[in-house]
Structure 1
Amino acid sequence: MEVFYFLILNNSAELQRWVEVALKEREEGKRIPFTIIEKATDEICGSTSLGSISYYDKRIEIGWSWLAKHYQGTGINFHAKFCMLSYVFDVLDWERVEIKTDNLNERAKQGLRKIGAKEEGVLRSHMQMPLDRRRDSVYFSILGGEWPKIKHSIFREISSFQYSE
């Protein structure tokens, strides 16, 4: 499966392992994984998660995200991020969403700026990546006080979305 270059899933066995880890971490309360489905075709096109959960601080991270290559650039990730941000801020009433990405991933950084996330800084040599590469991670955030403006400007076309269980 071809996904984001920065998340290497070379075959179905690696994808299966990725899913198993996501489900294990869900059971442990470490993260909440979501499947991204293209409504028109009912096809699974990716996944994203809420994790690094701090109930005391009302802070959460959006991450562990990937999309099949042919869905990249279609707007699906934009919609998925809106749904997650809307849930965190409008339903949970939390204070902060964090998103980190590989400093080499210009597409992701541009996408995060597009959704109104503020760049906070770089953690150097932050993570071990495949092929013996050390990753510098760029941190972005959106705060609860910023959400209403972002929701009604950047996401204005889809801001009538209502979360329902």
Structure 2
Amino acid sequence: MRESSTRPVPTTPLAALEPVMLTGERVRLEPLAEEHADGLRAAVADGEIWRLPYAPHIPAPAEVDASVASLRGDVDAGRRLAWAVVRPADGRVLGLTTFMNLALADRGLEIGNTYLAASAHRTGVNAEMKLLLLTHAFDTLGCLRVEFRVHHLNHASRRAVERLGAQQEGILRAHRILPDGTVRHTVVYSILAGEWPGVRAALRHRLGG
């Protein structure tokens, strides 16, 4: 392990998380609002990404309003933060991402429920989005750990998380029963605060910075 479990760390919990806008060159992360629903409908229709296997968190176009309302309810209850992923150049909504499974007492959280329009894949949008989210988590909030959880058969997402420099910790076997009745084994990855400078440098290099 790269971080010593005996090294003293802050014992005060993270403060309750507040919605905040995060801005980069390729993307702007706007706190999720009702007015993003139309753009999210277009995003999930782009490439019909809601049909992707092993991604039941992506709503079909007809389910977007309910998904946005549910996520906003979680934000209001302090259970997560949610952002619409927006392209600054033209204001187009490209997708959605969240901070979830908040562990404020232990200074940890998960980045999850992320999806992007098919046309935004392999454009640097995901890399910059992760750079903004991780910078906020580690440098602003003071997290010790950021986690990612992926369906064991979602190899594209697993490769994307591994390219970030996240370390695989293990697999939660038979972790969830999905809506179609299949069983998901969940692969758990994490980045620790001591690993963040290296991850940040690699992301900046990928983005040409």
Aligned residue number for residue 25 of structure 1:
74
Deviation for aligned residue 1:13: 2.2
Deviation for aligned residue 1:79: 1.0
Q: Is the 8 A contact 2:124 2:207 kept in 1?
A: no
* Change in CA separation of 1:107 and 1:157 when aligned onto 2, cut-off 3 Å: closer
User: Which runs of 5 or more structure 1 residues have no equivalent in the other structure?
Assistant: 161-165
TM (normalized to structure 1)?
0.89
Greater relative contact order (CA < 8 Å, ≥ 6 in sequence): 2
User: Which runs of 5 or more structure 2 residues have no equivalent in the other structure?
Assistant: 1-44
Q: Partner letter of residue 132 of structure 2?
A: C
Aligned residue number for residue 114 of structure 1:
163
Q: Partner letter of residue 7 of structure 1?
A: A
Q: Partner letter of residue 142 of structure 2?
A: D
Q: Where in structure 1 do 4 or more consecutive aligned residues deviate above 6 Å? A: none
Aligned residue number for residue 65 of structure 2:
16
Aligned residue number for residue 152 of structure 1:
201
Bigger share in helix? 2
The percent of aligned pairs where both chains have the same amino acid is 28
TM (normalized to structure 2)?
0.71
Aligned residue number for residue 64 of structure 1:
113
Matched length? 160
Q: Is the 8 A contact 2:131 2:203 kept in 1?
A: no
Larger radius of gyration: 2
- Is residue 2:36 matched to residue 1:36? no
Bigger share in strand? 1
* Change in CA separation of 1:40 and 1:135 when aligned onto 2, cut-off 3 Å: same
